[in-house]
Amino acid sequence: MKKKELTAIKQTRLNALLDEATKCLVENPSASMNEIAESAGIGIATLHRYVESREQLMIHLGFRAIEVVTATMNDIKLDDERYESYIPELIEALIPLGDKIYFLSHDATVNSNKDIEEQDRALRKPLLRAIELLQQKGYFRQDADKNWIVEVLYSLVFLTWQQVVEGNVARNSAAQLLVDTFYRGFRQNES
Amino acid sequence: MKKKELTAIKQTRLNALLDEATKCLVENPSASMNEIAESAGIGIATLHRYVESREQLMIHLGFRAIEVVTATMNDIKLDDERYESYIPELIEALIPLGDKIYFLSHDATVNSNKDIEEQDRALRKPLLRAIELLQQKGYFRQDADKNWIVEVLYSLVFLTWQQVVEGNVARNSAAQLLVDTFYRGFRQNES
DNA sequence: CTCACTTGATAGTATAACATATCGAAATTA
DNA sequence: TAATTTCGATATGTTATACTATCAAGTGAG
């Protein structure tokens, strides 16, 4: 087995560990390293073979979150011909990443890291542009602030993810529910 | 000075401490007792004179949150003649309590306490009834689940509170912004 | 002024969590 | 099969934090 394959396997396992750690820490931000290791199904010694310290774990988690969310967003293209499908597709893809999105915007350790903070801003840029375009097309309301729209989207994605995890919302109908809420709100139209 | 006045003063100071601790812990859930005391402008010794332990502090915070939110909700009556004003008034009153609402639904310590959990359910009941009534009146969409509506409301109240604290949203326009989002979403009506 | 009470600072202790090292077992590769 | 590595359990050192005890300073009432 070549060396490159070895590091690739390690990387895969590290990513799986990071994903599990994110979920664990979102559920209980004060989870100990022991709890994290147990939650990931590995020993505490092995955990420290992957990450040097708790602080470094947090940094890793931040970058991992950015990486995954960025990749997911890049997969969803804003097609001029079918711009109506952009948000629904994006939401469908983002819901499983609800914990990472939440982690990005709420964890204290992550938010005090300059690099991550900057990458987070870079991450929002294309989303802001997409919303702007949807507004110009007259598809989205133009009297709403773009940044506010993004904040609401993030917030609702996390909420939906959480409701799915807790079993209050069916996984298959979650995206539709969220799109519907995000688009129309709850007021009955009086037309 | 009478004894009753003394305990009343103590209670007032305790409440102020709890309110500050809530804000502090929402911003950084792993804040130490020292940080909490400092944030409240008191010494660590005094903090321990008010609450016996960290765990007891958490319990106190849970009950305090329930108490304040309940009182606020009871102040807003659902008047059959003016049911349109119920949600806007409620939202306006709830935004300053965003941290407490968040604390109630997200803190691990609080959510594992049976009493608080039960009181939290009791707290939601009148809100659920109000939403049901608004749906029957045709004022709210009837195809949306009541519990989902409450979850979204809580989530957005916290988001708005946070945006106000961070300075991204003006305090005076926050309620209007939230009501608008909650009612209509972001899709442009094609009428 | 005096007394009762409260507060904040400091020092100290106990406990829990982080982090490291070791060792045998299991898995993987040659 | 033999060698190498990977892993998990355990033990241990080190640090951080919750909590206690004590004392001096401040405050208000009588």
Q: Where exactly are the structural domains of chain A?
A: 8-186
Tens-digit pLDDT profile for residues A95-132? 999 999 999 999 888 888 899 999 999 999 999 999 99
Determine the distance in angstroms separating the CA of A81 from the nearest CA of chain B, rounded to an integer: 18
Of A48, A100, A31, A29, the closest CA to residue A14 belongs to A48
CA A11, CA A14: separation in Å to the nearest integer? 5
Instruction: Show residues of chain B in contact with A25, CB under 8 Å.
Output: none
Note whether B155 contacts A151, CB cutoff 8 Å: no
Instruction: Show residues of chain A in contact with B169, CB under 8 Å.
Output: 148
pLDDT band for A9, please (50, 70, 90 cuts). Answer: confident
Token output for B127 = 């809100």
Residue located via tokens 């542009």: A129
CA A150, CA A181: separation in Å to the nearest integer? 14
Taking the stretch 13-52 of protein chain B, residues with Cβ within 7 Å of any atom in nucleic acid chain D are 32-34, 44-45, 48, 52
- Closest CB to A29 among B30, B156, B158: B30
CA A55, CA B144: separation in Å to the nearest integer? 42
CA A170, CA A172: separation in Å to the nearest integer? 5
Taking the stretch 11-30 of protein chain A, residues with Cβ within 7 Å of any atom in nucleic acid chain D are 13
Tens-digit pLDDT profile for residues B162-173? 999 999 999 999
Once rounded to an integer, what is the mean pLDDT over residues B131-142? 96
CA A136, CA B171: separation in Å to the nearest integer? 28
Note whether A186 contacts B149, CB cutoff 8 Å: yes
Residue B181 clears pLDDT 50, i.e. is over it: yes
Separation in Å, CA B129 to CA A131, B88, B110, B124: 36, 16, 25, 9
pLDDT for residue A7: 66
State the burial class of residue B151 (Cβ atoms within 10 Å of its Cβ: 0-12, 13-18, 19+). buried
Interface test with A, best of B178, B186, B191 (most A CBs within 10 A): B186
Instruction: Show residues of chain B in contact with A27, CB under 8 Å.
Output: 108
Instruction: Show residues of chain B in contact with A189, CB under 8 Å.
Output: 189
Note whether B163 contacts A151, CB cutoff 8 Å: yes
Nucleotide nearest to A43 (CA to C1'): D8
Planar angle of CA B105, B95, A163, nearest 5 degrees: 30
Once rounded to an integer, what is the mean pLDDT over residues A27-50? 92
Architecture of domain B8-186: Orthogonal Bundle (1.10)
Q: Are B160 and B178 in contact (CB under 8 A)?
A: yes
Q: In Å, what is the separation between the CA of B52 and the C1' of D23?
A: 21
Interface test with A, best of B25, B39, B152 (most A CBs within 10 A): B152
Q: How many CB atoms sit inside 10 A of residue B112's CB?
A: 11
Once rounded to an integer, what is the mean pLDDT over residues A83-104? 96
